[in-house]
Amino acid sequence: MTETDKFQLYVFEGDCGLVSFDPECIQSILLAKLAKLPVKINLLNSIRKCARYTAPSLINKKVVSTNYSEIVSYLRTKNYNIDQSLSPKQCSEMLALTTLANSKLRPVVDFFFWMDARNSEDFTTMWYMRALPLPFNFMHTRREKNKVADLMEALYPNDTNVEIIKNFMIKSATQCLTSFSSRLGKQDYFFGSTPTTVDIIVYSYIAPLIKLPFPSSEFKNLFNLWPNLTMFVKRIDAKYLPDVSVESKYLKKDEKIKSVNDDDVSYTAIAIIILSAASIIFGFAVNRGFIQT
């Protein structure tokens, strides 16, 4: 198969032992690995790529899937279905487990990335500021913070105290992870010896909580309660993601990190780079015939 015949997957870069810094990108990469998809993985680390694609995006000829759910659905139409050996009963249970993970674990990950003040300013924001080019680093961090703030307001409309919300979320996630730990038991994966899509979802949410050196790490220490979930992450790493470096590329352990705020940003530089990105997009549109000159 030639390079032009391969699927193209665009994702955010990984770091600190994660194949990507974004849960949906982790899901998409791991799905491609498990499905043995002929794919080229492209990192969104240049102005050109960031201007043309979002993460994750899977491209196959003229079909573009722009989130994990769309990617799963599209790949199943191409006979890349890692759940095809499951019985109808198992499929129903898998759906219930996936819903539980998305409703209870994803908000926790979002919170610790973007709402916890120390994590957001001293870790997550600084990482994206260095991993993505201007102005996309600034745009992405602003967008994610706003999105997660809206999510927290929807989940906890009567609470504005971040510490109270954090306590609620930790309690809810603890109950959820206890259920997942009990369901996993001594098995390698949730439905036996082969991973399914629920394994992908659970991995994508708990791996960041286990691996990332968040300044505020109250939740990380709780994984001592569920050693089989920690081993579950290590098992997937060893078998499917063995080449991922555990070293930090963008944030050094002993580095003193300066928080970024609006005053630190050169808006002149942003304006120049936005114009450059716009020129790239315009040139692409003309080249593809979307705009007639």
pLDDT digits (tens, 9 = 90+) for 118-141: 999 999 999 999 999 999 999 999
Structural domain boundaries, residue 167: 3-240
Q: Are 200 and 213 in contact (CB under 8 A)?
A: no
**pLDDT for the residue 2:** 58
* C-beta neighbour count of 166 within 10 angstroms: 19
Q: What percent of the chain has pLDDT over 90?
A: 72
Examine the pLDDT at 1 and tell me if it is beyond 90: no
pLDDT at position 234: 97
Mean per-residue pLDDT over the chain, rounded: 88
Q: Is residue 74, in this structure, part of any structural domain at all? A: yes
Residue 214 lies in a domain: yes
pLDDT at 278: 53
Is residue 80 a contact partner of residue 128, using CB atoms and an 8 Å limit?
no
112-121, 199-208, 248-257, range with greatest mean pLDDT:
199-208
Q: What is the model's pLDDT at position 224?
A: 87
Count of structural domains within the chain:
1
CATH number at residue 56: 1.20.1050.130
Q: How many CB atoms lie within 10 A of CB 70?
A: 16
- Whole-number pLDDT of residue 4: 57
Q: Which stretches of the chain are DSSP H helices?
A: 23-34, 47-52, 68-77, 88-104, 106-110, 117-119, 125-131, 136-155, 162-184, 197-211, 227-240, 267-288
Q: What is the DSSP string of 275-292?
A: HHHHHHHHHHHHHHTSS-
Q: Does 263 have pLDDT greater than 60?
A: no
Q: Is the pLDDT reported for residue 266 higher than 90? A: no
Q: Evaluate whether residue 262 is within a structural domain.
A: no
Contact 72, 126 (CB under 8 A): no
Q: Establish if 267 belongs to a structural domain.
A: no
287 located within any domain: no
Radius of gyration, alpha carbons of the chain: 20
C-alpha to C-alpha distance for 163 and 161, rounded to whole angstroms: 6
Look at residue 259 and tell me if it is in a domain. no
Whether the pLDDT of residue 275 is over 80: the answer is: no
pTM listed for this prediction: 0.86
| Residue 264 lies inside a defined structural domain of this protein | no
Tokens of 149: 């703030």
Is residue 280 a part of any domain in this protein?
no
